[in-house]
Amino acid sequence: MNVQTPESGYHYNVMRRAIELIDQGGEGLSLDELARQMDMSPAHFQRLFSRWTGVSPKRYQQYLTLGHAKALLRERFTTLETAHNVGLSGSGRLHDLFLKWESMSPGEYARKGEGLTIYWGWFECPFGPALVMGTDKGICGIAFGAETGEEAAMEDMISRWPKATFVEDPMRLRPWALSAFGAASDRLEPTPLFLIGSPLQIKVWEALMHIPTGQVTTYSEIAQRVGSPQAVRAVGTAVGRNPVSWLIPCHRALRKSGGLGGYHWGLPVKRAMLAYEAAQADA
């Protein structure tokens, strides 16, 4: 089921191939040479990139380079203290969409989903196939299958709440999926999230939601924000366990060195997300 255009998955595969070629050819690879290696004209590659992001940026292949993360850290680093002071507390403005969220109590979390019905469905989005999961209270999971495979992504998500009842119902989730990937009309309600995690995980995920679109932060900055400056590794693990990828933007967390760090659904997906947001921010 599509929440963007039917070619959203195709566009991700094109960008995935471009990332591989840029890595092989070096960051000095020209747009003309990149397009030639992809058997298309530079103009066609530019059109595909613009259709993928929805904008026509001045730079194209630069967004897909490995060094792009370092440039983001240099030019668009945000402290979470600053973001918090803007007034984001309880609901956030992300991806030009309003989000609202509530968290499961620690006692409920300890029951590993027992008594919970989780609906699920697959949707095409700008980053390939997306598995969206939700309860009656909101989206509790978004996973991506382009790099891991759909079966592995499904097994991964089910293992997080092994005692829950899972029901396939994409039509029930479709309005939330439309909103999550920016294809919703203004008439739709804010996208609700239902966060299922430990108290530390919830704190980390809420901190992630304070990173503005098009900006990035570091794992150590997040640790500082949640009051655990010495627990960078534990915070990094909590970032990696984020169940609602994209909407809880763990892809915006980088290493202090400008390294990408990890990404649960594959680093090409993280790089594509950063490129997608940077292109929109620059437009």
Give catalytic residues, as residue numbers: 250
Nearby residues of 112 by Cβ (< 8 Å), 6 or more positions away: 161, 162, 163, 164
Q: 164, 165, 127, 134: which is closest to 264 by C-alpha?
A: 127
Going by their DSSP bridges, the two strands 217-218 and 253-254 should be labelled as parallel
Residue with tokens 């194209």: 60
**Separation CA 265–CA 191 (nearest Å):** 22
The HSE-up count of residue 58 (CA atoms within 13 Å, CB side) is 3
Helix, strand or coil, per DSSP, at residue 140: strand
Instruction: Tell me how far apart the alpha carbons of residues 156 and 264 are, in angstroms, rounded to a whole number.
Output: 10
Q: Which residue has the tokens 């992504």?
A: 153
Contacts of 111 (CB under 8 A, 6+ apart): 163
Distant-in-sequence, close-in-space partners of 123: CB < 8 Å, separation ≥ 6: 1, 2, 3, 129, 130, 132, 170, 173, 174, 177, 181
Q: What phi, psi does 229 have (nearest 5°)?
A: -60, -25
What's the Rg (C-alpha) of the chain?
A: 18
